[in-house]
Amino acid sequence: MIKVSVVGAKGRMGSHVVDAVDSAADTELALALDAGDDLTAITPENTDVVVEFTVPSVSLGNVLALVKQGVDVVVGTTGWTEEKLDQVRAALAAAPREGQSVFIAPNFAISAVLADHFAKVAAPYFESAEVIELHHPTKVDAPSGTAFHTAQGIAEARKAAGLGPVPDATETDGIHVHAVRLRGLNAHEEVLFGNSGEQLTIRADSFDRISFMPGVLLAVRKVSTGTYPGLTVGLDHFLDL
């Protein structure tokens, strides 16, 4: 059994993680902590993997504290910059336990990860590319971390193919990202590619937060094996794409 602690356990996503961990045959809930709780209660003795689902303003501090505690961490909170990721890398380099790992997912939905992969495959073949992300209005960051990750992947694929800038207004590594916040939505991403006379649309829709739970459990299982030391970003690393 994999002993899993959840930080942000009373949040919209964290509560689903608690239920998923309780329901899975190979995981058990160790500790369920929320805002104001002491993270030092989480130790390698009682926890194999921590799942951190909070808000961007506190996530970095939580992750650094958990690394210092000597536990592996799976992070679903978005809002990560290269500067923040560098701080996590530095913390892991000084971690108390050899081979410690932190995994950060821009998105845990399998459909979104596959859409991101397909977008990278398609990117070299089109002159124009735009990313539209659509979420519920209580999402704290805009544009989403998923959209930025997709845009960066498209930009890297275009650069590798020797393509120049897209002929559009740009925001993220040369790719225009649009954010929509609308009541009734959950989590949706649409990638638009265009050439003269043709268009390709790649779209992923998550209608309920339970759609993220298979990805969370996959990450927990992979991280618990101890074969992914250091920092890993993106669920695609666990899908053999």
Cα–Cα dist 122/197, whole Å:
16
Q: Are 158 and 196 in contact (CB under 8 A)?
A: no
Cα–Cα dist 210/214, whole Å:
8
**Whether 135 is catalytic:** yes
> Active site residue: 135, 149, 188, 222, which one?
135
> Active site residue: 117, 136, 139, 178, which one?
139
**Whether 222 is catalytic:** no
CA distances from 79 to 76, 120, 141, 206 (A): 10, 21, 7, 19
Burial letters 77-114, b for 16+ CB under 10 A, else e = bbebeeebeebbeebbeebeeeebbbbbbbbbbbbbbb
Active site residues per annotation: 135, 139
